[in-house]
Amino acid sequence: MPSSMPAFDFPEEAVQAYALNDRMNQVLLEHLDPRAWRSKSPGQKGRTLADIFAHVHNIRCKWLRLSASHLKPPARLDRSRCTQKQAQAALAESADRCSQMLAEALSAPQSRVQGFVRDGWARPWPPGVAMFAYMITHDAHHRGQACMLAHQLGFPLTGQAAYGLWVWEKLAKECGFQLVAYGKAKRPTASGRSNPKSK
């Protein structure tokens, strides 16, 4: 390993990735049309956008209660009454607390986070990569639901909300860290996009 290359710190990288993940939630909430917040697709039963984001926050509170009881979980959201701004604030708080849980679980062998319990009926997992991946995947699944529902309701996400989710360098900077390439890596000459005429 070149001396100029910093040592890989998985716990720190995981906590940063989790923060970036929640920044994506915040971007969606900042750009969702308020008229879509409690609407349902015509003729369909299912969650509203308010339901989805309240669920994400409340599940995080459950993880904290079951896996890291020493970290006091934030108040749960009432999905039938919470506003977009309340959801934003609640998600920011639960993300911060879950980041603390991850940091402890991944970096301290004698940490008080001895396992990850995703639900009351589930058996504990050892803290580690699976715990981190599950937490990220849960958010991403419901983020996708929210994007699709907004589109179905006639309020598709555009601009920063639609494409900004993938500008991770900018999102990372907004979270207070940088995604920096080691050394002076050259950009590939190809665009990476497939040519439809070649098919």
Question: Domain with 158 in it: what CATH number?
Answer: 1.20.120.450
What is the domain extent for residue 178? 10-198
- Packing angle of the helix pair 10-31, 84-107 (nearest 10 deg): 170
pLDDT at 110: 73
**Taking Cα atoms as reference points, which of 7, 43, 32, 141 lies closest to residue 83?**
32
pLDDT at 187: 58
Indicate the pTM of the whole model: 0.85
**Taking Cα atoms as reference points, which of 79, 72, 81, 78 lies closest to residue 51?**
79
Residue 1 lies in a domain: no
Positions in the chain whose pLDDT score sits under 70: 1-7, 108-109, 180-199
pLDDT at 191: 56
Domain total in the chain: 1
Residue 129 lies in a domain: yes
pLDDT at 140: 97
pLDDT at 21: 96
**Taking Cα atoms as reference points, which of 134, 4, 150, 6 lies closest to residue 84?**
150
Asked if 106 contacts 13 with a C-beta cutoff of 8 angstroms, the reply is no
Residue 43 lies in a domain: yes
Residue 5 lies in a domain: no
pLDDT at 50: 97
pLDDT at 185: 54
Asked if 175 contacts 20 with a C-beta cutoff of 8 angstroms, the reply is yes
Distance of CA 47 to the CA centre of its chain: 19
pLDDT tens by residue, 86-108: 999 999 999 999 999 999 999 86
Tokens, residue 42: 């015509």
pLDDT at 183: 58
Residue 93 lies in a domain: yes
Asked if 197 contacts 19 with a C-beta cutoff of 8 angstroms, the reply is no
Residue 95 lies in a domain: yes
